[in-house]
């Protein structure tokens, strides 16, 4: 899925935990954090780096950021340091799990560094039809929740 949909899903999840208030931003951040490499890579291309360079280093960022082993290790470390669960960080594994469902071409390497193999998804989010259906389903749900919270 694209970062916008991950943000919407994270926002929806946060609304169940915190309601729609300023505390939602950490949920949004952790929901899209695995895709930050994409922003960095696209920025490098815009600033003059070649697309071939982008392709060469893509998996150096993608694999660790989309590994449940890495995500859970970072979350566990944060919990041990803080001595409590930092709930927004759980959006990172949620991001990974939704990518498992929606990635058929570039499969999500959930147990990297053990293997880069991934599970074939149910659909490929990058196909325009899947992207349209994703927005048709996710956006109205989020709008409904926001309006419900605002009208109260």
pLDDT at 104: 87
| Four-CA torsion 102, 104, 110, 114, nearest 10 degrees | 180
Domain residues of the chain, as ranges? 3-151
pLDDT at 79: 96
Alpha helix positions (H), the chain = 3-18, 25-32, 36-46, 51-65, 68-82, 91-102, 128-151
pLDDT at 150: 58
pLDDT at 19: 63
Q: Do 38 and 3 meet the contact criterion of CB atoms below 8 Å apart?
A: yes
- CB-based contacts of 23, cutoff 8 Å, min separation 6: 14
pLDDT at 96: 95
Residue 66 neighbours by CB distance under 10 Å? 26
Q: Residue ranges of the chain with pLDDT lower than 50? A: none
Q: Which residue matches tokens 């609304």?
A: 15
| Four-CA torsion 79, 101, 63, 96, nearest 10 degrees | -20
pLDDT at 113: 94
The model's pTM is 0.82
pLDDT at 76: 97
pLDDT at 92: 96
């Amino acid at each position: 899925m694209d970062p916008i949909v991950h943000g919407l899903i994270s926002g929806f999840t946060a609304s169940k935990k915190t309601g729609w208030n300023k505390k939602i931003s950490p949920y949004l951040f952790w929901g899209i954090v695995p895709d930050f490499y994409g922003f960095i890579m696209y920025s490098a291309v815009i600033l003059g780096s070649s697309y071939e360079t982008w392709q060469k280093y893509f998996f150096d960022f993608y694999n660790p950021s989309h590994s449940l082993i890495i995500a859970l290790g970072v979350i566990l470390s944060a919990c041990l340091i803080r001595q409590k669960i930092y709930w927004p960080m759980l959006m990172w594994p949620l991001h990974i799990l939704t990518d498992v469902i929606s990635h058929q071409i570039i499969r999500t390497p959930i147990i990297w560094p053990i293997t880069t193999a991934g599970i074939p998804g149910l659909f490929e989010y990058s196909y325009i039809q899947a992207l349209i259906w994703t927005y048709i389903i996710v956006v109205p749900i989020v709008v409904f929740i926001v309006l419900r919270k605002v009208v109260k």
